[in-house]
Amino acid sequence: MGCAAAVFRDERYRFGVCTEQPGPIRTTEGFDMVVAKGLRAALAATGVLDGRRITTHWRYADELQRRYPAVKVDPDVLYIDHGDVATSGGSGTGIDLCLQLVRADHGAAYAARIARRMVIPPHREGGQVQYRAEADAAPTDSLGELLDWATEHLAEPITVDDLAARINVSPRTHARRFAEQLGTPPGQWLLAQRIVRTRALLEETDLPIETIATRVGLSSATNLRRRFQAAVRTTPSAYRRAFRTRRL
């Protein structure tokens, strides 16, 4: 709830909290909270999720599936958005989901501004599998500095081998660390960042597609259109028109 409040306490939204039975509510974090507004909000219990693919924290997936067999629980993803109903896998993934909803409402650039305010990445790749290591598992080296460097140099022709060389490891070791820490291959992560940057430039500028392709490291308008279509399921031009129509 705190994650949702942090995202949606924004001028473009009205945020409120409600519960099926107003009054003191016990949380799983060891404190109570008082909720004044009432609404039947237990999604699975209402039957709204029957037949739908949803997610929750991987530790609770089996219990949720046992309680509601008509629901299709996927414990491996960070979040699932059906448009009218959205679910996430935990506190951090709740933020991921909230930012996804903001992107759908107001675009990638606006969502990125909220993420910067919260000091979090605007978009994460991978799934929950990356967080299922045993409690006593040896920690792996952080990729944080490398990811920051890559996002600042997207216009350059960075390759997966370049990323590995920058931290002095083999491409195979680099791919393994990416899978362990981010749950996604490095090439897929790099492309995702370029798509995020493309969306922001389409929303906020009148730059030609060819220029945008150069700025995000996709080399040509043809390559950008192909990659963008595969990732966003629409063309860059259609995305730009739709976003601007939504703002009017």
Instruction: Please report the pLDDT score of residue 41 as a whole number.
Output: 45
pLDDT digits (tens, 9 = 90+) for 121-153: 666 655 554 444 443 333 344 677 888 889 889
Residues facing 54 on adjacent strands: 73
194 contacts 154 by C-beta, under 8 angstroms: yes
Q: What's the half-sphere exposure (Cβ side, CA atoms, 13 Å) at 105?
A: 15
| 213 pLDDT more than 90 | yes
Q: Inform me whether the pLDDT recorded for 104 exceeds 90.
A: no
Cα(174)–Cα(159) distance, integer angstroms: 12
| pLDDT of res. 38 | 66
- pLDDT at res. 226: 95
Structural domains in the chain, CATH included, are: 2-118 (3.40.50.880), 141-247 (1.10.10.60)
Residues 26-50: tens digit of each pLDDT: 887 788 888 877 655 475 666 788 8
- At residue 25, the 3 state secondary structure works out as strand
Q: Output DSSP code: residue 28.
A: T
Residue 151 CA to residue 100 CA, distance in Å, equals: 19
Q: Is the full-model pTM beyond 0.75? A: no
Distance of CA 3 to the CA centre of its chain: 13
- Output 207 or 33, whichever has higher pLDDT: 207
Strand partners, 35: 23
Residue owning tokens 């700025």: 215
pLDDT at position 127 is 52
Using CA of residue 208, residue 213, residue 219, residue 222, what is the dihedral sign?
A: negative
